[in-house]
Chains A and B, each alone.
Chain A
Amino acid sequence: MRPIDHAEASSHFIEAKAHLEFHDRRLWDLRMKRDRQAHGIPEWEELRNLASAIKEHTLSHLDEYLEQFEAQARKNGAHVHWARDAGEHNQVVYDILSAHGAKTLVKSKSMLTEECDMRPYLEKRDIEVIETDLGERIQQLDDEPPSHIVVPAVHKLRGDVSQVFARTIGSEPGNNDVHYLAEAMRRNTRPYFLKAEAGMTGANFAVAENGSFVVCTNEGNADLSANVPKLHIACIGIEKIIPKLEHLAVFIRMLSRSALGSPITQYTSHFHAPRPGTELHIVLVDNGRSQRLGMKDFWYSLKCIRCGACMNTCPVYRRSGGLSYGATYSGPIGIIIDPAFDLRKYSTLPYASTLNGSCTNVCPVKINIHEQIYKWRQVMAERNQLPLVKKEAIRVIGKVMSEPRLYRAAISAAGLAFEHLPRFAIYNWLNPWGRQREVPEPPKQSFRSWYIENRRPR
């Protein structure tokens, strides 16, 4: 398989000026709201340290906590299933549904089921799957994956949504009013909640000590999915475990503040035991996580609570859009997770970063994201996954940088070149910097020559 070409895909995103401008502004707005919330809590940095330490502790005892969670959940009356990979997960879910004769499944957003590509699997087997988060439903109806883990349709403008809804759920063509569109979705979805035989949720956290799990939403769609049908299936990645209820407080305080800049999601729902007369099935999914746990440099990424703060702050993500990453997880967190799934396919993603470190600074669980991105670049170079142009460029830069005289000659030549070369010599395929943007004007003087002129001890 050819590697995903992130730069090529972003070039299409960048061409749509209004979309690009909105996307950049909307996500930066989320980042600023996050800052206001974080700065409003004196113990914010202490919470980050706690969250990181709790996650590291849990991951270092993950087998014990998984067993504890399973035993407690069974005691509560839930059925617990285990799935090694995406295929097994989908099979397990299908088997539960067909054993109950379920034909319609209402579900809340779950990145795990995206990861497993569950929807097409079930649809092929005649199960109707209805996403009930507004953004996720827009993406489902438009046959696109989510472009952001928290706001799945953030790359679309109201006109796009209006077109999708007019085409698929019969909303009034050309009506771009956001309230009208949200209401159209509400009315379209309500009957599914009432008739579905099964509901599905993911989980933000699973608590080992009492076998409960927590789902955070703003729409209340997870609660409808879980509380109306007689069958609730919850798909949970094995890294979602935390030891105790008291630890939950740390994460709940930070999740929505980091994600959307609100103190908490509208609904923070704790599922402990099935309602009388109903069934609760929990599917614990590995799908590469246990392998990642053993990767010396990369296991920290399993601390992630999927808040998306690193995406909102990333200048590359904001200006390239989530779909350009060609993977379930995009943005900085995607860059460090995706290559663990498929090294070759996602070999160019570690270069979709300026390594500015902002992602690391906003991460509520203190994952060293930008350092991991750098380490993935090393892995790609070692495994010979660099494209030829990049490899050659790095070889030449390495040579020039290691010899001061060569470096100085190159710098002054480059300055001259930019001043005098015709555009086609600068803006061509060998210089990706020159695509979609102007190369900055070179300074009139290098720092070294300025220093010799002004500061050198005479």
Chain B
Amino acid sequence: MSSRDSILAAVRANKPATSPVPAVPLFERASRPLLDQFQEALVSMGGKLAPHSVGDVDTLLRSLFPDACVICSATSELRGTLPLDGATEPAALADVDVGVVRAAFGVAETGSVWLSEEELKVNALAYLTQHLLVLLDPTQIVGNLHEAYRDERFRSARYAVLVTGPSATADIEGVLVHGAQGVRSLTVAMVPRPAASRAT
């Protein structure tokens, strides 16, 4: 018998008596504005909020990262110094100072932003760059994870990630360090999605 069949046979022979599957509610509750919740949760997870009203994305980027040399953008709203498309080798992103990406949506409960290969073009952009700037439309925030997991994009994406703050570790004496293996900082800028890209 193949390993597959012998494992399944053993499971079949040993499984406990049938128990029913419960329905999972959405646990929605009317509360504070989602944007406030999102921002608080993001900051508590070590993420940063870009200051409001700095002008366009390009000006914002320059004000946040004045020393950045290599900038790689996955959104058409900003032109980086390093071009990016689906064929870019992940390792080519090793020297990028700042990556820029627009998130599909945010989750207020946890301060997370949702990214997939659609947004990132090359998944490693979210990890190999030193810093990550994420654009988020403030109207695209859901309340909690129950609502987030009902989003159909979870079903179509090859790879999807809820990113919450920068790469972090507290593995040595519980001391929090940002930039463990991935990005050293993560900044979310509340920028409405431009009308043109909404259509695509």
**B181 close to A224 (CB less than 8 A):** yes
B169–A182 CB distance below 8 A: yes
Chain A's closest residue to B124 (CB) is: A227
Contact of B14 with A by CB under 8 A: yes
Q: Does A88 reach chain B (CB closer than 8 Å)? A: yes
B145 touches A158 (CB 8 A): no
How many residues from A make CB contacts under 8 Å with B? 89
Do residues B160 and A210 form an inter-chain contact, with CB atoms below 8 A? no
Q: Is the CB of A135 within 8 A of B160?
A: no
**A270-B159 contact in complex given A54-B22, A57-B20, A62-B15, C-beta closer than 8 Å:** yes
A268 B124 Cβ-Cβ under 8 A: no
B3 near A88 with CB under 8 A, answer yes
- Decide: A269 near B117, CB < 8 A? Known: A84-B7, A238-B7: no
Indicate whether B69 reaches chain A with its CB closer than 8 angstroms.
no
A293 interface residue per 8 A CB criterion: yes
A248 touches B149 (CB 8 A): yes
- The CA-CA distance from A135 to B168 in the complex, in Å, is 12
A157: Cβ under 8 A from any B Cβ: yes
Which A residues, 34 to 65, have Cβ-Cβ distances below 8 Å to chain B?
A: 43, 49-50, 53-54, 56-57, 59-63
Q: From B76-84, B96-104, B150-158, B190-198, give the one contacting chain A.
A: B150-158
Alpha-carbon distance A223/B167, docked complex (angstroms):
11
In Å, the complex CA distance between A262 and B175 comes to 15
Contact A227 B127 (CB under 8 A): yes
Contact B149 A249, beta carbon cutoff 8 Å: yes
Task: Determine if B10 and A291 form an interchain contact, defined as CB atoms under 8 angstroms apart.
Answer: yes
Nearest-neighbour CB distance to chain B for A168, whole angstroms, equals 15
The CA-CA distance from A286 to B13 in the complex, in Å, is 14
A250 lies within 8 A of B24 (CB): yes
State whether A266 and B7 are in contact (beta carbons under 8 Å apart), knowing that A60-B17, A194-B91 are contacts in the complex: no
Report the separation of the CA atoms of residues A268 and B165 in the bound assembly, to the nearest whole angstrom. Answer: 11
Selected contact of A218 from candidates B127, B158, B167, CB within 8 Å? B167
A132 to B181 CA separation, bound complex (whole angstroms): 8
Which of A29, A60, A70, A284 has a CB less than 8 Å from the CB of B15? A60
- Chain A residues near B172 (CB-CB < 8 A): 134-135, 138, 153, 156, 158, 161, 178, 181-182
What B residues does A357 contact at CB under 8 A?
none
A382: chain B residues within 8 A (beta carbon): none
Contact in complex: B112, A264 (CB < 8 Å): yes
Is A7 positioned at the interface, with any CB of B under 8 Å from its CB?
Answer: no
Q: Out of B6, B157, B165, B181, which one reaches A186, CB within 8 Å?
A: B181
Indicate with 1 or 0, residue by residue over A129-172, a CB within 8 angstroms of chain B CB atoms: 00011110010000000000001111011100100000000000
> A408: CB under 8 A from chain B?
no
A84 to B9, CA, bound (A): 12
In the assembled complex, which residues on chain B have CB atoms less than 8 Å from the CB atom of A268? 112, 161-162, 164
When each residue 1-38 of chain B gets 1 if its CB lies under 8 Å from chain A and 0 otherwise, what string results? Answer: 01110111011111111111110100100000000000
- In the complex, whether B183 has a CB less than 8 A from a CB of chain A is yes
Number of interface residues of B (CB under 8 A): 72
In whole angstroms, how far apart are the Cα atoms of A223 and B123 in the complex? 8
Residue A247 lies at the interface, judged by CB distance under 8 Å to chain B: yes
Q: Are B168 and A266 in contact (CB under 8 A)?
A: yes
B128 within 8 A of A: yes
Interface of A is mostly: helix
Q: A60-B17, A252-B145 are in contact. Are A263 and B6 (CB under 8 A)?
A: no
Cα–Cα, bound, A190→B145 (Å): 32
In chain A between 194 and 230, which residues have their CB closer than 8 angstroms to a CB of chain B? 194, 210, 218-221, 223-224, 227-228
Beta-carbon contact of B180 and A219 below 8 Å = yes
For the complex, what is the distance from the CA of A247 to the CA of B21, rounded to whole Å?
10
Q: Which of A152, A243, A252 has the most CB of B within 10 A?
A: A252
Q: Does residue B133 face the partner (Cβ distance < 8 Å to A)? A: no
Whether the Cβ atoms of A62 and B24 lie closer than 8 Å is: no
Q: Are B18 and A60 in contact (CB under 8 A)?
A: yes
Query: A361-387: contact bitstring with B at CB < 8 Å (1 yes, 0 no)?
Result: 000000000000000000000000000
Are A218 and B169 interface neighbours, CB within 8 A?
yes
Please indicate the chain B residues that have their CB under 8 angstroms from the CB of A56 in the complex: 16, 19
Please indicate the chain A residues that have their CB under 8 angstroms from the CB of B13 in the complex.
Answer: 294
| CB neighbours of B155 from chain A (8 A) | 210, 245
B90 proximal to A (CB < 8 A):
yes
Contacts of B111 in A (CB 8 A): 263
Residue B45 interfacial (CB < 8 Å): yes
Contact call A178/B90, Cβ cutoff below 8 A? no
Q: Are B182 and A59 interface neighbours, CB within 8 A?
A: no
Q: Which of A60, A82, A228, A266 contacts B164 (CB 8 A)?
A: A266
Q: How far is the CB of A343 from chain B (nearest CB, A)?
A: 18
CA distance A272 to B158 in the complex (A): 5
Closest to A53 in B: B22
Could you tell me the distance in whole angstroms from the C-beta of A378 to the nearest C-beta in chain B? 20
In whole Å, how far is A93's beta carbon from the nearest beta carbon of chain B? 14
Q: How far is the CB of A96 from chain B (nearest CB, A)?
A: 15
Beyond A253-B144, A270-B161, 8 additional contacts (C-beta under 8 Å) are: A182-B180, A227-B90, A250-B24, A250-B146, A263-B111, A264-B45, A267-B164, A274-B158
| Contacts A/B (CB < 8 Å), 23 sampled | A22-B173, A26-B174, A53-B19, A66-B11, A76-B158, A135-B169, A153-B171, A185-B180, A186-B179, A186-B180, A194-B94, A220-B180, A221-B181, A223-B182, A228-B90, A253-B145, A264-B112, A266-B168, A267-B161, A271-B159, A272-B159, A294-B15, A299-B16
